[in-house]
Structure 1
């Protein structure tokens, strides 16, 4: 009788944290996943107005800005350089499907979000993971936890104020917890934090062509930090938007399926909250 295959293990410690965070920064801006999924479902070139028609809860102006940024990042291509030329996912954008699947699977297994559209589940997961030095802190706790606050700051080479802010955010996002209520109690990863290996592996694998694109060097920490700090903090109107999306109809059964599938609808009241200048 054949021996059952052992589940593949993924080492968080082996991940290049800087490369992972730089790659996550490319897909972190709000509505990037929704836009990419809309293009993937259609499987052909689409103009801004066509993409916006598939995402009625986002203004057309914001869709245009998001597509322009995705074009600059190599996630989409255009038929030519003229104004108004239609967009299509690039090979790099199409290869995001593995990353999105890993993020979705991790979210479904470890986060209690209720009934959420697939693209929104992915964007919520990226929001929890993409901030600067989050991956490094997760790596430290995975390898050496439980760890006290001062030890995390020292090992990560971060100042105390930033370390406290990052740990508080990781706690709020369900990735880190403390071993007890006492002041100074060590920090440890939650089950969700310990299960991030497959996600980091998928992101790092996807980042290889990102680094090689146009024979360019990997995105620098400065660029990653600049885009990461555009994240909207918990409690903002992005949370209300997410809540509305959770109340929308069920998400497509698969991520980046090229079979046309309807996008979840969002109440009209939410549309006003997707202001053109708003990003993650």
Structure 2
């Protein structure tokens, strides 16, 4: 087994992996970033229909469900108790701006998404690559001791072999991990994008609220239960079509958040329906 080296200066190894992933799980559901940044941009309480009017590619019903979940997670508050009471960002939600900036900067520097991508979609794409349970632990192991063979990664991360293989496959697909050769058993290493994650992890950890995020974790659950992927739009399938529509919505591509013009055609209903997430892992 390779001799472990000191964690890189990026502090990948110094963060609490579960805390980072718990925090990312709060903003992983599709359209959470778009909704949060709509509220931040307007700077006032907004009813569901008003938020939906700013996001013409999402149904009003789905925006309502997303805001309700954000309210349960402490990201937004309501200005009243009635069903139609408007939403506004909580202090916790307002502090998301630093996380959005870190994710956007990392994506722009390390990922090639093609075309002009709205800032909010870039952030959501980055979160979908990072939030899955134990992904951070695998990245930390490779940062400290890579290149490493599969069995050594599983051993160091404390994961079973089947789950480790699934997680490595996903990290490869997402451009964070690569193999050093084509043969079975060749070691794995972090890509440049993976090695650059330190500042992102640190920012997310600073933002996280231990009380809010910990309730979404299940430390007593077996590792194999974490193999469920989030039912948000996955990378590589409907996510490509959704991203294509959102690229066309980037009115100001250089800005963190770009709204779609009213003439923007809606994302197909089938895509939106499949993007509705549950809170399970």
Where on the TM-score scale, by shorter chain, does this alignment land: which range? 0.7 to 0.9
CA pair 220-278 structure 1, distance change in 2 beyond 3 A: closer
Aligned to 1:47: 47
- Tell me if the contact between 1:252 and 1:263 (Cα under 8 Å) persists in the aligned partners: no
Residue deviations 1:88-114, cap 9 Å, x none? 001000000000000000000000013
Q: Secondary structure at the match of 1:77?
A: strand
Aligned to 1:3: none
The two structures, once aligned, show a CA RMSD in angstroms of 2.3
CA pair 228-91 structure 1, distance change in 2 beyond 3 A: farther
Question: Take 2:27 and 2:180, find their aligned partners in 1: how far apart are those partners?
Answer: 33
Aligned to 1:62: 62
Q: Secondary structure at the match of 2:88?
A: strand
Question: Take 1:255 and 1:245, find their aligned partners in 2: how far apart are those partners?
Answer: 13
Aligned to 2:4: none
Residue deviations 1:141-182, cap 9 Å, x none? 000000100111111121111111110100000000011112
Question: Structure 2 length as normaliser, TM-score?
Answer: 0.87
Q: 1:221 aligns with which of 217, 220, 228?
A: 217
Residue deviations 1:22-71, cap 9 Å, x none? 00000000000000010000000000000000000000000000000000
Aligned to 2:25: 25
Question: Take 2:276 and 2:227, find their aligned partners in 1: how far apart are those partners?
Answer: 13
Aligned to 2:5: none
Question: Take 1:192 and 1:35, find their aligned partners in 2: how far apart are those partners?
Answer: 27
Question: Take 1:78 and 1:125, find their aligned partners in 2: how far apart are those partners?
Answer: 28
Question: Take 2:52 and 2:80, find their aligned partners in 1: how far apart are those partners?
Answer: 20
Question: Take 1:41 and 1:149, find their aligned partners in 2: how far apart are those partners?
Answer: 45
- The Cα of 1:271 is off from its aligned counterpart by 4.2
Question: Take 1:118 and 1:220, find their aligned partners in 2: how far apart are those partners?
Answer: 27
- Tell me if the contact between 2:74 and 2:90 (Cα under 8 Å) persists in the aligned partners: yes
Aligned to 1:279: 276
Structure 2 stretches of 5 or more lacking a match?
1-8
Structure 1 stretches of 5 or more lacking a match?
1-8, 257-261
Show the 5 A alignment for 1:140-179.
Answer: 140-179=141-180
Q: Residue 240 in 1 paired to residue 237 in 2?
A: no
- The Cα of 1:247 is off from its aligned counterpart by 2.9
Residue deviations 1:4-27, cap 9 Å, x none? xxxxx5310001000000000000
Question: Take 1:78 and 1:227, find their aligned partners in 2: how far apart are those partners?
Answer: 32
Number of matched pairs = 263
- Tell me if the contact between 2:232 and 2:275 (Cα under 8 Å) persists in the aligned partners: no
Question: Take 1:193 and 1:112, find their aligned partners in 2: how far apart are those partners?
Answer: 14
Q: Residue 270 in 1 paired to residue 271 in 2?
A: no
- Tell me if the contact between 2:56 and 2:264 (Cα under 8 Å) persists in the aligned partners: no
Q: Residue 100 in 1 paired to residue 97 in 2?
A: no
